[in-house]
A and B are shown apart, each in its own frame.
Chain A
Amino acid sequence: MTYSFQFRDVFAAWEFMLEGLVLTLELSLVTMAVGLAIGLAGAAARVYGATWLKRTVAVYVETIRNTPLIVQLFLIFFGLPSAGLKFDAGTAAMIALSINLGAYSIEIIRAGLEAIPRSQIEAGQSLGLTPVQIYRYVIIFPALKMMFPALSSQFVLLMLATSVVSQISAQDLFHMASIIQSRTFRDFEVYIVVAAAYLVLALLFRLAFACIYHLVFARR
């Protein structure tokens, strides 16, 4: 093997990486918040809603979960403009990722909701709690606690999946890698460094989720 690794050029372009990292973090955090909101509302609708509402949510969940993210992204970014809806790459990415994560969150939280015994809800009713209070205190809290591991690993997978938005030229970390690659021609080194950056991010997210779990759920 005659190849000599040169990481210097890659690290010299750290400003690009930082810029990309900011968008990757932004996309991840916003999508997680929106995805969780969709998940909470959608799962409630899926379990306790009227029949038509249940069906609608089920169709949404199944459609999203059985098609690839990149196709959803292309549909929104390249397809919707012909229907008169035009987004810039960052917005399209955020919409596609939120819709995607929302569907997965609904499915995970739904499983948590269905695991709450009926008697718990009845106990809440007999204490005179309103339906909203019951959902907030009796159902959602234990359900989230139970489903927290599944939910947080789905969130980490989403963070990694944000790399796909580079394909509609949103300027995330992965897109910046291809820019650095075209400037330095150091293909292998660039992608190794970027992969390592994602690995560190994934570990940090896992750590953050573990902290959240201990702060919010562990002692109750």
Chain B
Amino acid sequence: MIRELSFIDVLYLIAATRWTLALTAIAFLGGGIVGLTVALLRVSSFLPLRWLGAIYVHAVQGTPLLAWLFVFFFGLSIFGFTVSPWLAAAAAYSIYAGAFLGEIWRGCLQAIPRTQWEAGASLGLGFTQQLRYIIVPQALRLAIPPTVGFLVQLIKNTSLAAVIGFIELTREGQLTTATTFRPFTVYLIVAAIYFALCFPLTQWSRRLERRLHVAR
């Protein structure tokens, strides 16, 4: 049934934004764990582990996120799991975010001069101790601006979860369009909400980056 687009629809869209944020949070958490593992693999001193990390990153960055969503949504059910859109989205986004975060954090770890590791070694620290007390505290400072920047990508890309029926902002927009038949206005509102979420983060990331350059 077609009805008029009203203010209540806008409220529904804003309410659906929480699922966009929830999915972003889950993806960031899962992606953070995977990313940390990947980053550590890629700086490890054991060659096969470095390869493993590199293969993972290239495989994920060379395939569309949509493919991962579909593989998990349709694929896991053949192993006897009942797959909800939530589970499929959480798995797909963790894998996706893990590759990109891993690559960002690897860059930050490698930006710390080799001599810092050596200084740690000469103090008698082991690999994990060097990482924990010397490298990570310095790398963390470098990592924050690009990580915030990637968060923007993540928020935008959660929109793709709409295609497997995950109800978030974009999906809610599709549903609203279906009942009101006002696609232009609805998608404009949807875009505006995404912009309101992402733009402050973009600006923040830029400010952080500028401050980092001043500090050095």
> Which residues of A pack against B, CB within 8 Å?
1, 3, 62-63, 65-72, 74-75, 78-80, 82-83, 156-157, 160-161, 163-164, 166-167, 174, 177, 181, 187-188, 191-192, 194-195, 198-199, 202-203
Contact = CB atoms under 8 A, between A and B. Distances in A.
Main secondary structure of the interface of B (DSSP, over half): helix
A188 B79 CA distance: 11
Interface residues of B, number: 41
Given A68-B156, A195-B71, A1 B79 contact: yes
Interface in B164-216: 170, 173-174, 177, 182-185, 187-188, 190-191, 194-195, 198-199, 202
Q: Which 9 A-B pairs have the closest CB atoms?
A: A187-B74, A79-B184, A202-B62, A68-B159, A78-B183, A66-B198, A163-B64, A195-B67, A188-B75
A74 B194 CA distance: 14
B184 A80 contact: yes
Contact of B202 (A62, A78, A163): A62
A78 B186 CA distance: 10
Nearest to A2: B80
Contact of A66 (B61, B77, B188, B194): B194
B183 A70 contact: no
Residue among B64, B77, B160, B173 with the highest chain A CB neighbour number at 10 A: B64
A95 B134 CA distance: 49
B74 A62 contact: no
A209 to B, nearest CB: 13
B184 A198 contact: no
Contacts of A181: 74
A163 B191 contact: no
Contacts of A202: 61-63
Nearest to B59: A199
B41 interface: no
B198 A71 contact: no
A72 B183 CA distance: 12
A67 to B, nearest CB: 4
Contacts of A70: 159-160, 162, 170
B71 A191 contact: yes
Contacts of B108: none
Given A79-B187, A188-B71, A191-B74, A160 B62 contact: yes
B188 A75 contact: yes
B184 A199 contact: no
Contact of B74 (A71, A82, A163, A188): A188
B70 interface: yes
Nearest to B80: A1
Nearest to B72: A191
A74 B187 contact: yes
Contacts of B160: 68, 70, 164
B70 A71 contact: no
Given A1-B79, A62-B199, A78-B183, A199 B66 contact: no
A163 B63 CA distance: 10
A205 B180 CA distance: 42
B155 to A, nearest CB: 8
B195 A63 contact: yes
Contacts of B173: 71, 74
Nearest to B162: A70
Interface in B143-161: 152, 156-157, 159-160
Contacts of A79: 183-185, 187-188
Contacts of B190: 71
B66 A67 contact: no
Contact of B184 (A3, A83, A191): A83
A78 B78 contact: no
